[in-house]
Amino acid sequence: MQLVRRAASQTLNYADTLPNCLRAAFHDAAERDVGNDAGGANGSLMQELDDPFSYPDNLGVAICHAYMKVFVPEMRAQGCPNLTFADAIQWVGGVAVEMAGGPAVPLLPGRRDCNNCFDNSTVLPDECFTLDELANFWGARGLSDPLKAAVVLNGAHDLGNVRSTVPHDTASGTGFGGAGPVCIGAPGPMTAQPNLFDGHYYKESTIIIIIIVIIIIVIIIVIIIVIIVAHVQQLYTFTGRAGYLFSDRSLVTPANATSLYMNDKEAFFKDWTTFYQEMSLIGVDTGPANFNVHDGFLPGGPIGRVAPMTPVPGNGFAGTGANFSGAIQLPRVPGQSGGQGSRLAVSANFQAPAAAG
């Protein structure tokens, strides 16, 4: 697993593959058709995007699909012969968060690829979902605290951009559904810092309006005593960037579901770790390992808890001199961009780390 994580940190690109591979982890895991007891984190995304126009809801993660088509075979050749696409998709999604300044999430190895599987992509969360609908979605897929999971997992919108509001826009490669601009602000970054994962999404989702009630009491003839009573009340409204979705707005409620994470990054990281672990095991048979879906990793197992990677200057991890913008410069081929450029860069420039794992 360490080998995979290190290799991903050397080849993900902030401009496209990094946020896209985080989205891909969600898409592969969340395609769980509860009614038919089918789907989940099984790598089916790879088959579905071989024919993307048949699965337009996944168009938005086609960049990561192209990346994985090269990354996984390279890793198998470099010392991880049993690496599955299902594992790689979840692990690389975790690395993307870590590279952008988020927590290192220990993840279970052993997801099996479902070859020739085509999960039901129409069950993915809609951009028009309310908070209750998001909670119901995650609850139906076994997450331990559905309401909190809905708030925390939406924090993935710290990263990335909305590329189009056109439903199933094949030109720009987006997989949004039929609602289009009704539930999407506009093309653009989802937050002010779309390469940084630290929970700033929650702050940008809200503003604090200070209401000052001034009461002036006039006592006696010439003396005016002014008493100002400041009643400060937090009123939460949406103020996000162009790329916000209606489902982001839905977190802004009278109780404000975002308030816990607005000023407590550690609380966000802790809960993110929990729910990303749970999400990464949706549809995975965990019975043989004697743990349940809420564990998310094998304590004392062959991998166990994976310590955060040591930052190496230039590899794009938070805290390095490279920092966030342009930390990983992948060569591009003239006339090719996005997933094409990253895929070719992985193929031509992959260098396996010396460490085994």
Residue 227 placed within a domain: no
Q: Would you place residue 6 in the very low, low, confident or very high pLDDT band (cuts 50, 70, 90)?
A: confident
Confirm whether 210 is domain-assigned: no
Is residue 234 in some structural domain? Answer: no
What token pair was written down for 231? 């009643």
| Whether the predicted model's global pTM rises above the 0.75 cut | no
Confidence of residue 275 (pLDDT cuts 50, 70, 90): very high
Task: Find the mean pLDDT for residues 92-112.
Answer: 86
pLDDT, tens digit, for every residue of 241-254? 544 555 565 565 54
Distance, CA of 127 to CA of 293 (rounded, Å): 26
* 220, part of any domain: no
CA distances from 13 to 82, 146, 216, 218, 350 (A): 25, 32, 59, 66, 13
Asked whether residue 150 is assigned to any structural domain, the reply reads: yes
Residues of the chain above pLDDT 90, percent: 14
How far is residue 244's CA from residue 94's CA, in Å, rounded to a whole number?
A: 22
Contact 28, 41 (CB under 8 A): yes
Average pLDDT over residues 37-54: 84
For residues 323-347, give the mean pLDDT. 31
List pLDDT tens digits, range 51-99.
766 677 777 788 899 899 999 999 999 888 889 999 999 999 999 998 8
DSSP 284: -
Q: 67-82 in b/e burial notation, b at 16+ Cβ within 10 A? A: bbbbbbebbeebebee
The answer to which of 75-84, 143-152, 190-199, 237-246 has the lowest mean pLDDT is: 237-246
CA dist 75 and 11 (Å) reads 12
The domain in which residue 306 lies consists of 2-202+239-349
Helix 265-279 crosses helix 17-30 at what angle (to 10 degrees)? 50
If one counts the domains in the chain, the total is 1
- Residue 46 identity: M
Residues 298-326: pLDDT tens digits?
333 333 333 333 333 333 333 222 222 22
Is 223 part of any domain? no
**Inside any domain, residue 60:** yes
Q: CA-to-CA distance for 236 and 251, rounded, in angstroms?
A: 10
